[in-house]
């Protein structure tokens, strides 16, 4: 559907925009420190009668400065690979605060575990490999509970169409592996995906506690992420207070029935940082395809910084920074030589176009893309068409702007190429 109202800048003002462009040009990521800290405080307030650990899903944005800030506030780390775990260690994160939950078994698993990093087995093969290397130790397991939630199949990480985790019907097999290697399964991990349906999320929590009953040594239940942040106006957002109260009641009931106090872990990524990010770009050209066609705004950014619209039709607020009062319908196109590099896909049919009502633009105007804190700088078609990585800047609570990642150079792109 066409946006019925114009989006506004979230945390930047026109002076901020001018200051960023004056120092870094465009395109530039800017993150708001105040919003990130507010979101962390909300997550830390999640109700858990027997203890809570909040783990930041660092794949959302792994910049070391962000990792350190979250860590200083008492947030641990969810690493999606051995490489991410190494990156967190190099950022100064305490090894015991890092939990690896990955599709691929880290090649340096032994080194990481010996340093104190925790491991979450996501398949029977991973559990077998871990047990052979570390018999007689504690281990975490990820279970696919048989259901999931997400705005598309590409964001749904639970259910029969998902390869994430050990299928819930294979409890006997994983117990056999644990017995073989004398492993103590002390954490159960589940994750249903990135959706906003609280009923599905709550149901997954209840199913997970039923699985905890079959694993007598489990003391920690990790319910993963799936906390949806509303990026556009009117979009549904996960209400942590509603979910946490139900989960807390379920944990209390489980204790009343079993005498087992289960510590809760959650792994927000998007929730902590998505709306704390803006991408400042310049409109470098405006073209149209005739009376019955479209008017396109071409910007100096695109899938090299923000792949989500191309990948699965994600919708991001778009704001033309101008003093003009007129509005116009536009398609916003990225700078890559790909027809799919579009910032305004149809939300219901991602491979189709949908115009967006924006302020009437001129060449040289600034266009700000909002809601880009998560899964943008870290998940994009980096260096396609040899475009350099964009810089990243933090707007501090005092209003100052601090660079946390500089713009890449062409020379840096070429460093790994061999001369033959």
- Positions annotated as catalytic residues are 337
What three-state secondary structure class fits 284? strand
Query: What is the DSSP code (8-state) at residue 27?
Result: S
Nearest CA to 194 out of 343, 318, 308 is that of 308
Residue found under tokens 């799919």:
340
The CA–CA distances, whole Å, from 226 to 30, 194, 205, 266, 271 equal: 24, 4, 12, 9, 9
What three-state secondary structure class fits 162? coil
Distance CA 237, CA 201 (A): 13
Q: In the chain, helix, strand, coil percent, each to 5?
A: 30, 25, 45
Helices (H), 73-170: 82-90, 109-115, 124-133
As given in the structure block, the two tokens for residue 380 are 């994009």
Q: Output the CA angle 116-120-122, nearest 5 degrees.
A: 150
The CA–CA distances, whole Å, from 79 to 69, 97, 111, 195 equal: 16, 10, 15, 21
Distance CA 309, CA 152 (A): 12
Distance CA 258, CA 370 (A): 47
Nearest CA to 142 out of 91, 80, 228, 63 is that of 80
State residue 316 phi and psi, 5-degree precision. Answer: -125, 140
State residue 171 phi and psi, 5-degree precision. Answer: -60, -40
* Distinct helix (H) and strand (E) counts, the chain: 12, 18
Nearest CA to 306 out of 83, 84, 29, 35 is that of 29
Cβ atoms of 109 and 121 within 8 Å: the answer is no
| Distance of alpha carbon 380 from the chain centroid | 13
């Amino acid at each position: 559907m066409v946006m019925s109202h114009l989006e506004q800048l979230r945390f930047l003002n026109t002076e901020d925009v001018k200051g960023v462009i004056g120092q870094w040009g465009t395109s530039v990521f800017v993150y708001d420190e105040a919003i990130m800290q507010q979101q962390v405080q909300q997550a830390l307030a999640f109700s858990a009668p027997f203890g809570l650990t909040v783990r930041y899903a660092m794949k959302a944005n792994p910049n070391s400065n962000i990792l350190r800030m979250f860590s200083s506030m008492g947030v641990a780390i969810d690493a999606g690979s051995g490489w991410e775990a190494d990156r967190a260690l190099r950022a100064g994160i305490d090894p015991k605060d890092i939990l690896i939950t990955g599709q691929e078994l880290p090649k340096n698993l032994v080194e990481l575990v010996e340093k104190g990093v925790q491991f979450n087995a996501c398949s029977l093969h991973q559990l077998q490999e871990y047990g052979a290397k570390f018999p007689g130790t504690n281990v975490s397991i990820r279970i696919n509970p048989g259901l999931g939630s997400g705005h598309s199949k590409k964001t749904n990480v639970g259910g029969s169409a998902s390869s994430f985790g050990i299928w819930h019907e294979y409890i006997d097999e994983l117990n056999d592996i644990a017995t073989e290697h004398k492993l103590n399964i002390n954490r159960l991990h589940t994750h249903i995906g990135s959706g906003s349906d609280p009923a599905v999320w709550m149901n997954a929590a209840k199913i997970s506690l039923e699985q905890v009953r079959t694993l007598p040594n489990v003391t920690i239940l990790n319910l993963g992420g799936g906390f949806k942040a509303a990026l556009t106006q009117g979009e549904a957002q996960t209400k942590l207070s509603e979910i946490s109260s139900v989960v807390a009641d379920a944990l209390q009931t489980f204790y009343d029935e079993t005498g087992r106090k289960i510590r809760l872990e959650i792994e927000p990524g998007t929730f902590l940082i998505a709306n704390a990010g803006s991408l400042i770009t310049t409109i470098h050209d405006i073209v149209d395809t005739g009376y019955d066609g479209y008017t396109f705004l071409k910007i100096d950014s695109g899938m090299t910084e923000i792949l989500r619209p191309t990948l699965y039709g994600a919708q991001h607020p778009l704001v033309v920074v101008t003093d003009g009062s007129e509005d116009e319908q536009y398609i916003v196109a990225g700078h890559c030589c790909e027809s799919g590099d579009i910032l305004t896909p149809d939300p219901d049919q991602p491979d189709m176009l949908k115009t967006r009502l924006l302020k009437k633009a001129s060449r040289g105007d600034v266009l700000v893309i909002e809601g880009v804190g998560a899964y943008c700088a870290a998940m994009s078609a980096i260096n396609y068409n040899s475009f350099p990585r964009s810089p990243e800047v933090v707007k501090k609570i005092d209003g100052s702007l601090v660079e946390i990642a500089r713009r890449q150079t062409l020379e840096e792109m070429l460093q790994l190429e061999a001369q033959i």
